[in-house]
Amino acid sequence: MKHLISTEQFTNTGQLEQIFKLTDHYQKIGVSETLKNKIIACIFYEPSTRTRLSFETAALRLGAQVISTENAAQFSSAAKGETLEDTIKVISSYADAIVLRHFEKGASKRASLVSSVPIINAGDGAGEHPTQALLDIYTILKELGRLNDLKIALVGDLLNGRTIHSLINLLSLYDSNTLYLISPRELRLSDIYLKYLKSKKIKFIETADLSSALQHIDVLYMTRVQKERIESIKEYEKVKNAYSLNNQDVKKMKQGSIIMHPLPRVNEISPDIDNDKRATYFRQAKNGLYVRMAILDLFLNKEKYDH
C-alpha cells in the first residue's frame, strides 16, 4: 500500500505483526539513520500534541528532516482559499511523505488521489485515525499478551470518535473478542459501524451503563466527548460528563485489566487513577512514538519490506 488512509486497508494479522516486529526493533535501538536525507511534512489543520510531536520525533529519530505547520487552516494558503488538493500537490513536491490531519472526514483520501508521495492519515474529522489504532492494539498486545478472546469496553463518544472507528476495524481481524459499546444515546456508534460488526460476526453489547461492565472487561478504552464535533453547546453540556472514571469504579475491575485513553482527557479519568498499575494511557502514548517510527520506515522504504 502506498498511503495509510484507513485501518480497513489491513486485511490480515500478518500485516500487523510486521508493524509490531518493527516497533519492537525501534523500541530497542531508539535511533536510526533509516530515513537519512528524507523530508517528512507534517501538515495539521487541527490542533494536536501527541500525534504531531510523536510523528516529528519519529522522523528525527530515523534521521529524517521535518517541515511542518501546526495550524494549517490559518497559517497556510488555505486561509486564502487554496484547496486541499492544490496544497498537497505542492507539498508533495517538497517532501518524501506527508502526515496529514484535517477537520474534514475523507480529507486524507482526497489528498492521496493527488499526492505523488505517501499520505499518512493523522486524523480526518470524525472519520479515522489509523496510526492511533495501530498503537492501541500494539499496547493491548504488549500489556495483555494477546489480541483475541478479549472483552473490550469502548466508552464515551462512539459517534464522533475517530480512534474508535479505526480500532474496531483492527479488532475485527482477531477471533472471539466481545465489544461493550458504552455511550449516551446521542453518541452511540453509527449504524454503518454496527452493520460492519454484524457483518464480521463480532459480538457486541450496546449499553449506557459503564458500572455493570467493569467487572467483566479486560480492556477499558475511555474517550472524551468531541466538543468540536457537536453542533451546539447545549448538546455538549448535556453529554460532556456522561462518564468519569474514579477509584471506586476501578475497584470493580479485574487486577489483570488495563485502562486506556487516546488522550487528551478532559474529565473521563480521575488523575487519582494515574498511579494504578492498570492505568496504561501514558505507556500507550509512549508506544505511539515507536509505532510511528515503524510506519514511516515501512512507507518510505517499501522496496525493503515488500517481498
Active-site hit among 7, 51, 163, 223: 51
- Is beta strand 119-124 parallel, antiparallel or unpaired with respect to 178-182? unpaired
Looking at the domain assignment, is residue 30 inside a domain?
yes
- Are 67 and 146 members of one domain? no
DSSP state, 187?
A: G
Looking at the domain assignment, is residue 188 inside a domain?
yes
Sign (positive or negative) of CA dihedral 189, 286, 61, 32: negative
Active-site hit among 7, 23, 38, 50: 50
- Are 136 and 190 members of one domain? yes
Q: What is the pLDDT of residue 74?
A: 60
State the Cα–Cα distance between residues 126 and 204, nearest whole angstrom. Answer: 21
Looking at the domain assignment, is residue 270 inside a domain?
yes
Looking at the domain assignment, is residue 11 inside a domain?
yes
Q: Does pLDDT of 77 surpass 70?
A: no
- Where is pLDDT greater, at 71 or 9? 9
- List the CATH number of the domain containing 164: 3.40.50.1370
DSSP state, 59?
A: H
Active-site hit among 11, 28, 80, 234: 80
Looking at the domain assignment, is residue 2 inside a domain?
no
101 carries an active-site annotation: yes
Mean pLDDT estimate for the chain: 92
252 carries an active-site annotation: no
Looking at the domain assignment, is residue 100 inside a domain?
yes
Domain that holds residue 259: 130-285
Looking at the domain assignment, is residue 1 inside a domain?
no
Q: Phi and psi at residue 106, in whole multiples of 5°? A: 90, 0
Smallest CA-to-CA distance from 1 within 13, 15, 14 is with 15
Contact 147, 140 (CB under 8 A): yes
DSSP state, 101?
A: E
C-alpha cell at 135: 498503537
Q: What is the pLDDT of residue 47?
A: 84
- Are 32 and 151 members of one domain? no
- Are 25 and 116 members of one domain? yes
- Are 147 and 103 members of one domain? no
Chain position carrying cell 486524523 = 123
Residue 307 pLDDT level (bands cut at 50, 70, 90):
low
- Are 83 and 192 members of one domain? no
Q: What is the pLDDT of residue 247?
A: 94
51 carries an active-site annotation: yes
Give the pLDDT confidence of 216-262 residue by residue, as tens digits.
999 999 998 766 766 677 776 666 677 889 999 999 999 999 999 99
Q: Does pLDDT of 69 surpass 90?
A: no
- Are 269 and 134 members of one domain? yes
Q: What is the pLDDT of residue 22?
A: 97
- Are 149 and 256 members of one domain? yes
Contact 146, 180 (CB under 8 A): no
- Are 263 and 180 members of one domain? yes
Sign (positive or negative) of CA dihedral 215, 217, 219, 223: negative
Give the pLDDT confidence of 33-61 residue by residue, as tens digits.
999 999 999 999 988 889 999 999 999 99
Domain count for the chain: 2
- Are 157 and 112 members of one domain? no
Q: What is the pLDDT of residue 230?
A: 67
Query: What is the arithmetic mean of pLDDT over 110-120?
Result: 97
Q: What is the pLDDT of residue 82?
A: 85
In DSSP notation, 128-178 reads --HHHHHHHHHHHHHHHS-SSS-EEEEES-TTT-HHHHHHHHHHTTSSS-E
Active-site hit among 101, 102, 151, 261: 101
Give the pLDDT confidence of 128-184 residue by residue, as tens digits.
999 999 999 999 999 999 999 999 999 999 998 889 999 999 999 999 999 999 998
Per-residue CA distances from 17 to 20, 24, 129, 146, 183 (Å): 5, 10, 19, 12, 31
3 carries an active-site annotation: no
Residue 191 pLDDT level (bands cut at 50, 70, 90):
very high
- Are 226 and 268 members of one domain? yes
Cβ neighbourhood burial of 182 (10 Å; 0-12, 13-18, 19+): buried
- Are 257 and 154 members of one domain? yes
